[in-house]
Amino acid sequence: MTVNFGFQKVKEAEKETMVQGVFSKVADKYDIMNDMMSFGLHRKWKDIFINEIDSYANMTLLDLAGGTGDIAKRFIDKGGKNAIVSDLNKEMLDKGKGRIGKKINKRHVKNIKWIHCSAENIPYKDNSFDYCTISFGIRNVTHVENVLKEALRVLKPGGKFLCLEFSKVDNTTISKLYDFYSFQIIPRVGSLIANSKDSYQYLVESIKQFHNPQELEIMMKDVGYFSVNFKKLFFGVVAIHSGYKI
């Protein structure tokens, strides 16, 4: 069986290793590339995303594919009790942990834990977390359904799943400009800054190949989430998906 790796078709068993190779290559420059590619807007999107959490005090969070620690940090800053950052890529985890460790914030060091694991196979018991999040990571997994099922499993009853991911631009003119920027500019910047044009070629292709918001909404409902919805930001460049566990 084959799956998408950007515009390529690869064997299902090979995708995970190939994706991890991409992130291992760019881990050192990941943060600066995010700022350059989005003109800093990814920070605003993450601020909006974390505000979709209903309450923070005494709440626990599992952030999947969250190696940078951006979401966990925001959750703790808002008053969350504990956050766990999980990522399958050790280089990304080490980079995120090291960056947060340099900040003089005892709550970040004390209340954020780091776990090396796959979002498709979460090493926690059922009904463990109040919130489960994934930002700009779900399109890189081999089996999206497995991630949705695992997130649902580890959520407590009444818990909330939130996903921030690139989406589909609705406006035709903006879509053309966005595609030009994505395919003509971003890989070149990736080559100059991160010394890895191919990695950023894959990343922009993965955005183009990913499910549209309506498809992801159906998938979430099919695996058992309720009150599922999504909202687009910045002309549809990104979307926030949410759903609850009964």
What are 213-231's pLDDT values in tens digits? 999 999 999 999 999 999 9
Confidence of residue 191 (pLDDT cuts 50, 70, 90): very high
User: Residue 29 pLDDT > 70, yes or no?
Assistant: yes
Q: Compute the average pLDDT of residues 176-180.
A: 95
What are 104-113's pLDDT values in tens digits? 577 888 899 9
Confidence (pLDDT) at 104: 56
Confidence (pLDDT) at 196: 86
Strand, helix or coil at 61?
strand
Report which DSSP code applies to 139.
G
User: Residue 70 pLDDT > 70, yes or no?
Assistant: yes
Amino acid at 134: I
Q: What domain range is 170 assigned to?
A: 2-244
Confidence of residue 232 (pLDDT cuts 50, 70, 90): very high
Confidence (pLDDT) at 28: 87
What integer best gives the mean pLDDT of the chain? 94
Confidence of residue 1 (pLDDT cuts 50, 70, 90): confident
What are 119-159's pLDDT values in tens digits? 999 999 999 999 999 999 999 999 999 999 999 999 999 99
Confidence (pLDDT) at 195: 85
Kind of pairing between the strands at 129-135 and 155-166: parallel
Residues 6+ apart with CB under 8 A from 110: none
Amino acid at 206: S
Of 127, 123, 126, which Cα lies nearest the Cα of 156?
Answer: 127
- Residue 240 has φ and ψ, to the nearest 5°, of -105, 125
Is the CA virtual torsion 134, 167, 46, 196 positive or negative?
A: positive
**Cα–Cα dist 160/234, whole Å:** 24
DSSP secondary structure string, 114-131?
A: EEE--TTS--S-TT-EEE
**CATH code of residue 99:** 3.40.50.150
Q: How many CB atoms lie within 10 A of CB 215?
A: 12
Query: How many domains does the chain fold into?
Result: 1
User: Residue 68 pLDDT > 80, yes or no?
Assistant: yes
Confidence (pLDDT) at 146: 98
**Cα–Cα dist 193/84, whole Å:** 30
Q: What is the pTM of this model?
A: 0.94
